[in-house]
Amino acid sequence: AAPVMLSRFRGALVGSVLGDCIGGEFEGAVDVPLDRVLQHLSALEDETRGDGILQYSDDTAMMRCVSDSLLTRMPFDERDMARRFAKEYNLAPGRGYGSGVIQVLRKLASPHLKDVFQPAQAQFGGRGSFGNGGAMRAAPFALAYKSQADVCRYSRLGAMLTHSCSLGYNGAALQALAVHLSLQGALALPKEFINKLISEMEEMEKDETAQLDAKALNLSDFPYCSRLHRVKELMDRNSVSIEEVISELGNGIAALQSVPTAIFCVLHCLEPRDGLPERFGGLERTIAYSLALGGDTDTIACMAGAIAGAHYGIDSIPQSWQKSCEGVEEADDLARRLYDLYCLP
């Protein structure tokens, strides 16, 4: 079983980097015709393409910080992780960070800071960010811990360094949990996969803070659970339009409008789909489909790519795609090292 699990680990982190790099092309676009997505993807296969490799953004930059911190400071060291985020931002501030999170990253750089969770708590009038920035970097938590409880606990804490609103950190836990289940092969039974996510989120959203945040933002109680129920309904349908997916699940920069969407992309693309080339495997379909939704395409494809990569494994990822993206080798190396750590008794 070891080689299969290693392949899944590598698939998860490489899949996430590919989603970020390939999805960057369409970030923020309202309408992305499938033709344009397929054109963008076939250009990756063209060795003579002149425009160089696709750069990664904040999603991958922060995922690398999380991985490095977990590799050196297991089980979890919030100060170390915070320092790595701040240092990375300082070295490469132009990676497309959210406009709010930049303030947190600047404060985290201060050597006098006592409580590393405080800058995130000061965001948005004390409400904290509900952006998907915690979720986009959550995959390594699924590679670092064996137990589901640890995956949830630490992915939430890791997200809280920048996202103190429960919608932000619970979205990160949902993403980490989806990668965790996918690594275990749970996508072989899609219905059970989504049911497990729903029951875990029910526990998380029972929490008083989660209930208060949902109210304050005018959302239904159990906002993630209700989105996941919509994912389940869409899964049962024979045909679903892009417009319906966007209106039911969203494609925005809020975690609530993008994590369930990424999960849907993976589930929807477990089978061949009209409009996507027959030669595409499941991971290629998942990335292509994520881009066609428009909106926060790099982050949705990054999250879907991590879940799909954990399911299909590294061998499902075309070499030409891997060669076209910045940071693939480093992600592969981080995945191998997390795997070695995971295998220690």
Give the binding site for ligand 8NA (CB under 6 A). Answer: 27-28, 57-59, 96, 98-101, 124, 127, 129-133, 165, 253, 296, 298-299
Nearer to ligand 8NA, 111 or 125 (CB): 125
Least Å from the CB of residue 311 to Mg ion:
22
User: What DSSP string runs through 81-108?
Assistant: HHHHHHHHHHH-TTS---TTHHHHHHHH
3-state secondary structure (DSSP) of residue 62: helix
Nearer to ligand 8NA, 182 or 299 (CB): 299
Least Å from the CB of residue 53 to ligand 8NA:
18
96 is a site residue for Mg ion (CB under 5 A): yes
175 is a site residue for Mg ion (CB under 5 A): no
Q: How far is CA 21 from CA 53, 219, 293, 329, in A?
A: 9, 32, 16, 13
Least Å from the CB of residue 116 to ligand 8NA:
16
Task: Look at residues 192, 209, 217, 196 and name the one whose alpha carbon lies nearest to residue 152.
Answer: 196
Nearer to ligand 8NA, 165 or 266 (CB): 165
Q: Which does 305 bind (CB under 5 to 8 A by kind): ligand 8NA, Mg ion, none?
A: none
Least Å from the CB of residue 92 to ligand 8NA:
13
Stretch that binds Mg ion, among 43-51, 183-191, 283-291, 293-301 (CB under 5 A): 293-301
Please state whether 152 falls in left (phi above 0), alpha (psi between -120 and 50) or beta.
Answer: alpha
Contact 145, 341 (CB under 8 A): no
Instruction: Give the Cα separation of 239 and 17 in Å (integer).
Output: 29
CA contacts within 13 A on the Cβ side of 102: 9
Residues within window 132-171 making contact with Mg ion, judged by CB under 5 A: none
Q: Which does 147 bind (CB under 5 to 8 A by kind): Mg ion, ligand 8NA, none?
A: none
Least Å from the CB of residue 107 to ligand 8NA:
13
Residue 93 C-alpha from the chain's centroid: 20
Question: Tell me, what amino acid is at 206?
Answer: K
Instruction: Give the Cα separation of 147 and 152 in Å (integer).
Output: 9
Residues within window 35-74 making contact with Mg ion, judged by CB under 5 A: 57-59
Stretch that binds Mg ion, among 34-42, 212-220, 256-264, 289-297 (CB under 5 A): 289-297
299 is a site residue for Mg ion (CB under 5 A): yes
State both tokens at 89: 């931002």
Rounded to 5 degrees, φ, ψ at 254 are -75, 140
88 is a site residue for Mg ion (CB under 5 A): no
Instruction: Give the Cα separation of 254 and 39 in Å (integer).
Output: 28
Least Å from the CB of residue 159 to ligand 8NA:
9
Least Å from the CB of residue 229 to ligand 8NA:
24
Q: Which does 155 bind (CB under 5 to 8 A by kind): Mg ion, ligand 8NA, none?
A: none
Least Å from the CB of residue 270 to Mg ion:
24
Nearer to ligand 8NA, 79 or 127 (CB): 127
Instruction: Give the Cα separation of 227 and 256 in Å (integer).
Output: 8
Say if residue 103 is exposed, middle or buried (CB neighbours under 10 Å; 0-12, 13-18, 19+): middle
143: which residues sit within 8 A by CB, 6+ positions away?
A: 9, 12, 13, 67, 179, 183, 335, 338, 339, 342
Nearer to ligand 8NA, 101 or 187 (CB): 101
Q: Which does 282 bind (CB under 5 to 8 A by kind): Mg ion, ligand 8NA, none?
A: none
Binding site for Mg ion (CB under 5 A): 57-59, 96, 296, 298-299
